[in-house]
Amino acid sequence: MVPQMWQHLLNRISEDRKSSGNRELARGHYMDIVMLEAPLDIDYFRESYGELVKRFGGQLPKGGKTTIRLSPEGAEKHRAIKDVCDAEGFSRKGLFIHSALLLGFLAKLKDAGELPMEELPPLL
């Protein structure tokens, strides 16, 4: 993952924890949604990658491998995304694809506004 994207995600998590009252929100929750919502479409991946490149002025920063917990479905989708990219000659860009998908997801969250407070049913 591109380190700057992690920082953007951590900022959003902090905001969402405050607005929702849910102190348990973590990177894995968000990345799981990123994986599950991503279409298995190489054109979408290329377009998202292009947006990331544009965001960084044509110079993508060095990224690194990241280990986070995903649901079994999220982990399977991660593998499927890698397979699609490999099959289409767009391999070796995994950290940038994931960063690009996260960028799109964070933009959607920004448009949606703050995460609302969870309303729990009464105990009695």
Least confident interval from 18-22, 24-28, 93-97, 105-109: 93-97
The DSSP H or E segment spanning 51 is: helix 42-55
pLDDT digits (tens, 9 = 90+) for 63-117: 877 889 999 999 999 999 999 999 998 878 888 999 999 999 999 999 999 999 9
Q: Which residues contact 54 (CB under 8 A, 6 or more apart)?
A: none
CA separation for the pair 124, 119 (Å, rounded): 15
Please give the C-alpha separations between residue 36 and each of 59, 76, 82, in angstroms, as whole numbers: 28, 9, 13
- Contact status, residue 23 vs residue 17, Cβ threshold 8 Å: yes
Q: What is the pTM of this model?
A: 0.89
